[in-house]
Amino acid sequence: MIEIIPAIDIIGGKCVRLSQGDYNAKKVYNENPLEVARMFEDAGLRRLHLVDLDGAKAKRVINQAVLENIASNTSLVIDFGGGVQSDHDLDIAFNSGAAMVTGGSVAVRNRELFICWIKKYGSEKIILGADCKDRKIAVSGWQESTSADIIPFIGDYGKDGVDKVVCTDIGKDGMLQGPSIGLYKEILNTFPDLYLIASGGVGCLQDILDLENAGVPAVILGKAIYENRVSLKELSSVNSSIGNP
């Protein structure tokens, strides 16, 4: 029953992918993100994970025009992240068409504000970003590591009502060598009611099936699609067979 969520990462208004969060290892896949989003929509996918990489680095939303364009011209349910670190940024994201917002850096730097968002908007609209490298939470577009271990980090926010988490193992991201299934199993064993969205490392359809078999509720993938390692037809087939809404 795994939910498939394609990703579009934005730098300079273009659809790109990084490897292990390295901005110097950027590859542009399409200069028109709306075109990519429509391909996902035409394949029967309903969700989209849209990341403002410029915003993540700048600590404020930069590419809201891309979000607004996709939201206005598709029916995709958009989860937006990158640079959302203030009430103003959150308003920009929601007013530009995001159905949900993922907060990572803000959850580390301003716990009080993030908890306020959870209380105001609910866990259906606010997702915790728990991206890690060697189990330590990383922020600012993965440019900065912290001393926070991923398990206690998730647990602390679980006490405040967070029940949806996007977790990226940065060491796996963009490498197409398989996801961190062991880490995800550990998280789910510790927090069995968590809606865990796995991200990073998916390189083929079998990786998605392995995540499903491990009990992971949802998966984000991007580079595997752009590098033709997984076809939209395959994703549509899996999407239909598992009964995604």
Catalytic residues: 9, 131
Q: Is the dihedral of CA 131, 132, 138, 143 positive or negative?
A: negative
Q: What CA–CA distance (Å, rounded) separates 172 from 165?
A: 17
- Helix (H) or strand (E) holding 114, with range, is helix 111-121
Q: What CA–CA distance (Å, rounded) separates 7 from 215?
A: 21
| Degrees, nearest 5: CA angle 80-145-30 | 40
Q: What CA–CA distance (Å, rounded) separates 126 from 35?
A: 27
Using CA atoms, how far residue 4 sits from 70, 72, 79, 156, 205, in Å, is 18, 22, 13, 27, 11
